[in-house]
Chains A and B, each alone.
Chain A
């Protein structure tokens, strides 16, 4: 069973982000790391391939400046290879532009039985790319998967809902987005980290994927930020150091608010 996992390499969330005032997009300088949200899909893919007893996990990513830092992490976890789309023409791409690129990259990998993604990235969090990829590839999809099993060519997914979860069945190939926290992503072993250095990363430009520059990046965006404004801030409250009795302040406040 061959699984393709879409992964995003993002600026370290521990560093606060900033908007570039001239382009009005997130500044993307500094090193990129594997989006933690994607580590669950990578883990899920590795487990599914293991259970199937054959096949491999291929990563697909789009990033500026030939960034491979995050890909190496996922390769070290056990993915076999990666396709990286890195092209200056992609700067400013929205979710749809991103999905167009990833869909073409998935086609380049070929022979995918299953395509996994996170439910949303940690830095852009539009949450629509998985469905866009599925629509572009004319494939069925299941979002917000808590659990995935494969029986023959049938996929069974427990899909998170407002009230609980749905059992969903779909033929393969299909696109599935994986909810964070549903599996325990493995830590790359030292051996894995060493092996990852020599695993193949197929770096391509959009021309290699047959994508027209006018359909992605700034040109293909179709939206424009017209204003950046400071949001309303809350008034500062009372902050006290716990002296062992501070719980009484909470009790008093709750009583005042008639919450007790």
Chain B
């Protein structure tokens, strides 16, 4: 075993443990003798995380109405300080995972290895594999100190596998006084109504980019997505341009997707986009520039005008 104890920061949405949590637990089992979980969701997650190899849940109580970054980081740092911490902690590259990692790194004065897609053993310690340049190159980074090893892991890096373990035992882990840092309060929670599958879990994703020309043309992406029971997605360029919300973004700085079919309409395939979708099983690309990098990952590439191809495709599918 590479390290003796790994903690995984377990997140849950609407009472359900996130897939990324289960992915990290699966990998952690391979790497450490002891896998434990730190979470704000306590007994609610004990069964699920136990089933993926965690033996203990450290529940951080008193986080109601707080953003989790500050209290979770404080609780982990307190455990480390008391000599009860892990060798490494794995957190998802999520809104909250990054908050915790940033706060924690300052508290324990340790660097964070970010955007990790694999964890490997190097020189007796854990090292992270990070794709750069749109995934064309992998760099392996290790820590040079024996401080807490903090890794931010990208979603869908590992296939989750059940261990069949029993529900984890639950123990409280407190965070002490948060001072001014803990003063932000969540006053209301809004859930956007979603129709169709989520970008994370959809079997088919239809994504649009700058090649669509203007905001209104994104409707073609939405229409095609609806016909295929797919989730609509977007390149960073059109998210930055304000055509669609950030939650649509696929790429290095957005969501990582690995659907059965990925259709890229008017996306040139900047490296920042490719890294978020090139793990898709089948890729179809429509772009008018034959030199567009998206064609280097496409199984079926159509060199053509997205404004001509998409309407015909939509009509043909409607007619079926």
Contact A230 B189 (CB under 8 A): no
Query: B260 on the interface (CB 8 Å rule)?
Result: yes
Interface residues of A in 122-149 (CB under 8 A from B): 122, 125-132, 134-136, 138-144, 146
Is B313 located at the chain interface by the 8 A CB criterion? yes
CB distance from B104 to the nearest CB of A (A): 9
Q: Knowing A138-B181, A228-B137, say if A166 contacts B102 (CB, 8 Å).
A: no
Verify A167–B187 contact, CB threshold 8 A: yes
* A143-B99, A181-B239, A260-B320 known; A167 vs B253 contact (CB < 8 Å): no
Chain A residues with CB under 8 A of B115: 125-126
State whether A226 and B140 are in contact (beta carbons under 8 Å apart), knowing that A95-B111, A160-B247 are contacts in the complex: yes
In chain B, what residue has the closest Cβ to A237?
A: B299
| Contact yes or no, B313 A168, CB < 8 A | no
Q: Does A248 contact B (CB under 8 A)?
A: yes
Hey, which chain A residues are within 8 Å of B105, CB to CB? Answer: 95-96, 128, 132
The reply on A234 being an interface residue by CB < 8 A is yes
Cα(A240)–Cα(B286), bound, Å? 10
Contact across chains for B181 and A242 when beta carbons are under 8 A apart: no
Q: Which chain A residues in 226-246 approach chain B with CB under 8 Å?
A: 226-231, 233-234, 236-242, 244, 246
- A30 contacts the other chain (Cβ, under 8 Å)? no
CB neighbours (8 Å) of A120 from chain B are 253
Q: Does B32 contact A (CB under 8 A)?
A: no
Residues of B with C-beta under 8 A to A179: 246
Residues in B with CB closer than 8 Å to A246 are: 302, 304, 309
Q: Which chain B residues lie closer than 8 Å to A257 at the CB level?
A: 260-261, 282
Q: Which of B73, B142, B183, B283 has the most CB of A within 10 A?
A: B183
Indicate whether A52 reaches chain B with its CB closer than 8 angstroms.
no
Residues A229 and B138 in contact in the complex (CB < 8 Å), given A94-B111, A126-B115, A161-B95:
yes
CA distance A221 to B109 in the complex (A): 10
Contact status B127-A226, CB under 8 Å = yes
Complex interface residues of chain A between 157 and 181 (CB less than 8 A to chain B): 159-171, 174, 179-181
Which among A143, A221, A223, A241 is the interface contact of B95 at CB below 8 angstroms?
A: A143
User: What is the number of contacts between chain A and chain B, taking CB atoms within 8 Å?
Assistant: 280
| Known contacts A162-B13, A180-B240, A260-B320; A223/B295 CB under 8 A | no
**A184–B243 alpha-carbon span in the complex (Å):** 11
Stretch of A16-24, A66-74, A190-198, A206-214 that contacts chain B: A16-24
**Who on chain B is nearest to A171 by CB?**
B183
Smallest beta-carbon distance A92→chain B, Å: 12
Considering only CB atoms and an 8 Å cut-off, how many residues of chain A contact the other chain? 83
Are A164 and B192 touching (Cβ within 8 A)? Answer: yes
Q: Is B103 engaged at the interface, CB distance under 8 Å to the other chain? A: yes
A135–B184 Cα distance when bound, in Å, is 13
Chain A CB within 8 A of B132 CB: yes
Interface residues on B, range: 35 or more
B132 and A19 contact, CB distance less than 8 A: yes
- Please judge, given known A-B contacts A164-B192, A168-B67, A222-B147, whether A139 and B246 are in contact too, CB under 8 Å: no
Residues of B within 8 A of A181 (CB): 239-242, 245-246
CB of A186 within 8 A of chain B? Answer: no
In residues 217-275 of chain B, which contact A (Cβ within 8 Å)? 228, 236, 239-242, 245-247, 252-253, 260-261, 263, 270-272
| Cβ–Cβ < 8 Å partners of A233 in chain B | 136
Residues in B neighbouring A166, C-beta threshold 8 A: 67, 186, 188-190
Q: Is the CB of A231 within 8 A of B312?
A: no
Among B103, B142, B308, point to the contact of A242 (Cβ < 8 A). Answer: B308
Chain B residue at minimum C-beta to C-beta distance from A173: B180
Within 8 Å CB of A226, what residues of B?
122-123, 127, 140-142
Partner of B98, one of A128, A221, A241: A128
B184 near A174 with CB under 8 A, answer: yes
Contact flags (1/0) for A88-115 with B, using CB distance below 8 Å? 0000001110010000000000000000
Residues 173-186 of chain B: 1 if any A CB is under 8 Å from the residue's CB, otherwise 0? Answer: 00000011111111
Q: Which residue of B lies closest to A39 (CB)?
A: B240
Distance in Å from the Cβ of B94 to the closest Cβ of chain A? 7
Closest beta carbon of chain B to A101's beta carbon, Å: 13
A160/B246 in contact, CB under 8 A:
yes
Determine if B144 is an interface residue (Cβ-Cβ < 8 Å).
yes
A151 on the interface (CB 8 Å rule)? no
Contact A239–B301 (Cβ < 8 Å): yes
30 A–B contact pairs at CB < 8 A? A126-B112, A128-B105, A131-B102, A134-B102, A134-B103, A140-B180, A140-B182, A141-B99, A161-B95, A163-B13, A166-B188, A168-B184, A180-B236, A181-B240, A181-B241, A181-B246, A223-B143, A223-B144, A224-B142, A226-B127, A229-B137, A231-B135, A234-B283, A234-B296, A238-B300, A240-B301, A242-B305, A249-B300, A254-B228, A254-B317
Known contacts A128-B114, A170-B183; 5 additional CB pairs below 8 A are: A138-B180, A171-B180, A225-B139, A231-B135, A234-B283
Interface residues of B (CB under 8 A from A): 13-14, 67, 69-70, 73, 93-95, 98-99, 101-103, 105-107, 109-115, 122-123, 127, 131-133, 135-145, 147, 152, 179-192, 203-204, 228, 236, 239-242, 245-247, 252-253, 260-261, 263, 270-272, 278, 282-284, 286, 290, 295-305, 308-309, 312-313, 316-317, 320
